[in-house]
Amino acid sequence: MSNDSTEPLIDLDIEELREEARKIVPPEEQKFLQFENRPWYMCFYHIFMSLVTGATIAGAYFFLISGGDKITPRCYVYHDYHEKSFIPDSPDSETWNEWLCNITTICFWTYPLVCPMVVICVYLKNLLDARLYYECLLNGILLDYRNASHLASPAFWLLLLHGCLGISCLFYIKSASQWSDRSLSEMASSFLAYLAPVFAFLFVLFSNWSVEWHLIPISKYCEQDHSEAIRHLGKCTFASDRELENAWEATEELLIHRAAANGRKIQLSTPEFFTLVRQQLIRKTRCPDRGCCSCLRFYWVYRLLCLSSKLYDKRVASFRCWVRVYWLFIALAGTIFLWAFVHTAHFLLIYQQVLSTPLPLGPDPHSLKKSATSLIQLVLPLHAFQR
């Protein structure tokens, strides 16, 4: 088999593979990694970090709740009542300004809501990437993730576009809001309550987008038993994330061909599976392009660790169970996001005079402000009495 092969291998001896997997004895995991690769710790750590990171932008949304009705542009003042259609017929119509004003206002209000959902998904990706890195390290593969991975992510560019549209709302705030008579310096100082949390969040998010900066360093890995760690690293095969993805796809294709030939399902343990992936890395085997758009599929690391039917043992089952716990956290966060998003859109529809009467949607985020005010009014007299 040549190194430039584009077809997966069709000969696979399972017993031979298992024997080779036994030869690669991974170092004692608890001795070298401690808690870093334990599924329960990884799950709760990434949940906690996503909450802390998302909390940095919460101040921007609370700023909007407390005084959003004063700074929100009155987009209806741009409406051209001579227009008879929903879409303006003339390029000079002022209704185009109304459209742009509404779009930027929606982005301005929803940006502090969208950002926490993005960071929760980013930390799910980091959870998967960290698990793959440590599993590869234990099984003879030294994985190298690409730098500045956020530049290749569509979510990054959509988040950036959303933020730019939201910031563009400042133009309409100056010209069509209750703050229109304020000077630019007064508006700038007031808007720091919104902009400071946003920029702090973006800095924290982009510094945590790639898991590479949060993995245990090799020096830390070697500190417990230097000689054994160096001996194990000397046996490892170095691979970039793209090379590993190609090797994994070739491995899946190989196992599918083998199962079809034998007429029975094949399941490998973690050491056996990563040994086979390592063989494909060494041979530089690639599977044919399936022609499916990658953006329509789950993240490849998620498919490898959580969806692959060829990889299964107690170790894998434990990790997949804790990933489901993280999915429950995402579902809870998504419910809160939809609740806040619906009420925010409802407020804007009423404010822009699209709805004449409020809809019965139940408690809204503004009730949080009322509850907090009542609590402060209750606590302050008690504090004064104690003094």
CA–CA distance, 117 with 205 (Å, rounded to integer): 12
Alpha helix ranges (H) inside 33-87 = 39-55, 58-71
Determine the pLDDT at residue 156: 85
CA–CA distance, 100 with 107 (Å, rounded to integer): 11
Residue 127, helix vs strand vs coil: helix
Residue 32, helix vs strand vs coil: helix
- Burial bucket for residue 371 (CB in 10 Å: 0-12, 13-18, 19+): exposed
Positive or negative, the Cα torsion across 38, 41, 43, 45?
negative
Q: What is the pLDDT of residues 231-253, one digit of tens each?
A: 878 888 899 989 999 999 988 88
* 285 has pLDDT over 80: no
Cβ–Cβ under 8 Å, residues 369 and 65: yes
Determine the pLDDT at residue 90: 66
pLDDT band, residue 375 (cuts 50/70/90): very low
- Written as six digits, the tokens of 111 are 């940006």
Q: What is the pLDDT of residues 335-372, one digit of tens each?
A: 999 999 998 888 888 888 878 788 888 777 766 555 54
Instruction: Please name which of 209, 195, 208, 204 lies closest in space to residue 111, comparing C-alpha atoms.
Output: 195
Residues paired with 143 in a beta bridge: 239
CA–CA distance, 277 with 263 (Å, rounded to integer): 22
CA–CA distance, 94 with 77 (Å, rounded to integer): 9
CA–CA distance, 11 with 246 (Å, rounded to integer): 19
Positive or negative, the Cα torsion across 81, 83, 87, 93?
negative
DSSP class of 237? E
Determine the pLDDT at residue 288: 58
CA–CA distance, 2 with 176 (Å, rounded to integer): 69
Q: Mean pLDDT across the chain, nearest whole number?
A: 80
- Written as six digits, the tokens of 372 are 């907090």
pLDDT above 90 coverage of the chain, percent: 23
Opening angle at CA 317, ends 314 and 320, nearest 5: 155
pLDDT band, residue 11 (cuts 50/70/90): low
> What is the residue type of 128?
L
Residue 13, helix vs strand vs coil: coil
pLDDT band, residue 129 (cuts 50/70/90): very high
pLDDT band, residue 178 (cuts 50/70/90): low
Cβ–Cβ under 8 Å, residues 139 and 27: no
Determine the pLDDT at residue 126: 92
Determine the pLDDT at residue 111: 92
What are the residue ranges spanned by the domains of the chain?
34-215+327-386
CA–CA distance, 241 with 328 (Å, rounded to integer): 28
Cβ–Cβ under 8 Å, residues 319 and 305: yes
Q: What is the pLDDT of residues 34-86, one digit of tens each?
A: 778 899 999 999 999 999 988 888 888 888 888 777 788 888 777 766 666 66
- Written as six digits, the tokens of 166 are 């939201």
| Backbone Cα Rg of the chain | 27
